[in-house]
């Protein structure tokens, strides 16, 4: 007999996303295949790569305008922020920075030396606003070799599978991540020693559990969950909950709002078990910090550029990475764990922006993307 428990176990084991076929819905994975092929405007080629950037909850909080012959202005799509868990838009700004770095890498690949101006109309405070986050121009033509990280943009993933506990990342590979991030002034450190890893697992897990018991955070995440293939294909954003029995689970009413917002529902209890397995298989952690006084909008944007580079370098080294951001978030309920985590990661004046488990895992399918046309905003004054 198929029980609710059984259905959820199967769902937890199922791949995160498979390409949608047969139905008249867009393929949510299409953006990952040969990005920018056939584009004649280098900016659209670069945007086709930029939209593949990692970003919180896969909200894809980007809007762009093209201006003149070579200009691109990046804005935040303000409705795609995460106001409860990310009250100062720090993580959203990091996602925008990751977008910017992929855009830059793609233009470098085409032989330009792009010029980026962060917050050209001034930094917003305390949250992002309608002003641009960056202007980018092609810059001069250059014969310097392109950055090899470009090659990993379409292969990069956030990998939430269980990791192989018998394989610890090599120092030489971790150093590649650090070198890549350092080019954007980000500093990558790591914990490999069993005691320190166990300590971090414990803090990270308590932060995750707290989030699962915080109604505002649960409600926010629920709004970005996409249940089943059709929902994924219809939205092409958010976090996919996918599996062969998703339809049955929906029929059971398991993914209804009331159920999902109840921390003690069977669905959430099973989800916690599944996530527990993920943290228990963390062989190591790595984190990205910036100097303390760089926790400014520009510093966060730069941290996002550094994080994209760290994630791409990990892909190049065959390493899987998976952020655990709960304990770094700035909402009131998280304050005490956040300070504990900062102490555990502290190194001088550095401000940690991203914390990931890192190791080796089976490959995962790409997360959905909406495509370049969905993020184009007409330039001011355009009809
Ligand atoms: C600032 C930031 C914070 C993130 N935090 C988490 C997190 O706490 N848990 C998680 O599973 N993924 C986290 N991610 C990964 C995103 O969810 C992921 O990038 C997004 O779903 C798109 O998937 P992709 O990276 O495979 O393209 C984070 C990414 C960024 C940039």
For residue 193, pLDDT over 80 is answered with yes
- For 4, the token pair is 């609710």
**What's the pLDDT at 346?**
84
**What's the pLDDT at 20?**
45
Spatial neighbors of 51 by CB under 8 A, at least 6 apart, are 31, 60, 62, 99, 369, 370, 371, 372, 375
Pocket probe mutation, ligand 1, options 57, 161, 337, max atoms within 8 Å of Cβ: 57
DSSP 269-294: HHHHHHHHHHHHT---EEEEEEEGGG
How big is the CA angle at 161 (ends 155 and 165), to the nearest 5 degrees?
A: 110
Confidence band of 23 (pLDDT split at 50, 70, 90): low
Instruction: Render pLDDT for 285-331 as a digit per residue (tens, 0 to 9).
Output: 999 999 877 789 999 999 999 999 999 999 999 999 999 999 999 99
- For 51, the token pair is 């939209």
For residue 171, pLDDT over 80 is answered with yes
365 CB burial (10 A radius; 0-12, 13-18, 19+) = middle
Ligand 1 centroid to Cα of residue 293, in Å, is: 24
Ligand 1 centroid to Cα of residue 382, in Å, is: 34
Q: Which atom of ligand 1 is nearest to the CA of 52?
A: 27
Q: Is the CB of 367 under 6 A from ligand 1?
A: yes
Q: Where are the domains of the chain?
A: 1-376
Pocket probe mutation, ligand 1, options 29, 54, 101, 226, max atoms within 8 Å of Cβ: 54
Q: Is the CB of 327 under 6 A from ligand 1?
A: no
Share of the chain above pLDDT 70, in %: 93
Q: Is the CB of 323 under 6 A from ligand 1?
A: yes
Q: Is the CB of 160 under 6 A from ligand 1?
A: yes
**What's the pLDDT at 257?**
85
Facing residues of 116 across strands? 136
The mean pLDDT value of the chain amounts to 91
**What's the pLDDT at 367?**
98
Ligand 1 centroid to Cα of residue 268, in Å, is: 20
Q: How far apart are the first and last CA of the chain?
A: 60
**What's the pLDDT at 254?**
80
Instruction: Render pLDDT for 75-129 as a digit per residue (tens, 0 to 9).
Output: 999 999 999 999 999 999 999 999 999 999 999 999 999 999 999 999 999 999 9
Considering the four listed CATH numbers 3.30.420.10, 3.40.109.10, 3.50.50.60, 1.10.3720.10, the one that applies to the domain covering 1-376 is 3.40.109.10
**What's the pLDDT at 380?**
61
Tell me the mean pLDDT in the region 35-64.
98
Angle between helices 215-222 and 194-212 (to 10 degrees): 90
**What's the pLDDT at 219?**
96
Tell me the mean pLDDT in the region 7-35.
64
The mean-pLDDT minimum among 66-70, 292-296, 332-336 falls in 292-296
Tell me the mean pLDDT in the region 19-37.
83
**What's the pLDDT at 21?**
47
For residue 22, pLDDT over 60 is answered with no
The H or E element that residue 46 is part of is: helix 42-50
Residues 147, 125: Cα–Cα separation, whole Å? 33
Pocket probe mutation, ligand 1, options 17, 52, 325, 334, max atoms within 8 Å of Cβ: 325
Instruction: Render pLDDT for 235-277 as a digit per residue (tens, 0 to 9).
Output: 999 999 987 777 777 777 788 888 889 999 988 998 999 999 9
Task: Tell me if 367 sits within 8 A of 323, measured CB to CB.
Answer: no
Q: Is the CB of 56 under 6 A from ligand 1?
A: yes
Q: Is the CB of 57 under 6 A from ligand 1?
A: yes
Pairing of strands 225-227, 239-241: parallel
Tell me the mean pLDDT in the region 335-348.
92
**What's the pLDDT at 249?**
77
């Amino acid at each position: 007999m198929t029980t609710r428990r059984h259905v959820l176990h199967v769902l937890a084991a199922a791949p995160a996303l498979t390409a949608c076929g047969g139905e008249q819905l867009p393929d949510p994975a299409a953006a990952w295949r040969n990005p920018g092929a056939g584009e004649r405007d280098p900016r659209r080629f670069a945007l086709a790569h930029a939209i593949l950037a990692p970003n919180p909850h896969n909200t894809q909080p980007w809007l762009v305008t093209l201006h003149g012959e070579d200009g691109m202005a990046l804005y935040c799509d303000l409705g795609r922020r995460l106001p409860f868990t990310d009250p100062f838009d720090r993580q959203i700004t990091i996602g925008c920075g990751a977008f910017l770095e992929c855009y830059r890498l793609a233009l470098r690949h085409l032989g330009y030396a792009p010029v980026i101006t962060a917050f050209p109309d001034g930094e917003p405070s305390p949250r992002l606003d309608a002003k641009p986050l960056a202007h980018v121009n092609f810059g001069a033509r250059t014969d310097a070799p392109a950055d090899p990280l470009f090659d990993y943009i379409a292969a990069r993933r956030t990998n939430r599978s269980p990791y192989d506990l018998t394989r610890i990342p090599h120092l030489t590979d971790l150093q590649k991540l650090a070198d890549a991030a350092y080019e954007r002034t980000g500093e990558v450190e790591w914990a490999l020693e069993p005691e320190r890893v166990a300590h971090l697992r414990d803090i990270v897990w308590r932060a995750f559990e707290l989030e699962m018991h915080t109604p505002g955070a649960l409600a926010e995440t629920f709004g970005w969950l996409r249940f089943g293939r059709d929902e994924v294909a219809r939205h092409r954003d958010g976090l996919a909950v996918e599996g062969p029995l998703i339809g049955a689970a929906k029929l059971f009413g398991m993914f209804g709002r009331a159920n999902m917002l109840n921390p003690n529902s069977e669905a959430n209890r099973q989800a916690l078990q599944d996530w527990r397995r993920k943290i228990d298989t963390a062989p190591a952690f790595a984190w990205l910090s910036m100097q303390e006084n760089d926790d400014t909008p520009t510093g966060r944007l730069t941290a996002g550029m550094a994080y994209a580079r760290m994630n791409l370098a990990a892909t190049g080294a065959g390493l899987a990475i998976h952020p655990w951001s709960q304990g770094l978030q700035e909402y009131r309920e998280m304050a005490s764990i956040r300070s504990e985590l900062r102490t555990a990661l502290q190194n001088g004046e550095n401000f940690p922006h991203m914390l990931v488990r890192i190791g080796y895992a089976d490959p995962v399918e790409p997360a959905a993307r909406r495509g370049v046309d969905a993020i184009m905003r007409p330039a001011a004054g355009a009809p």
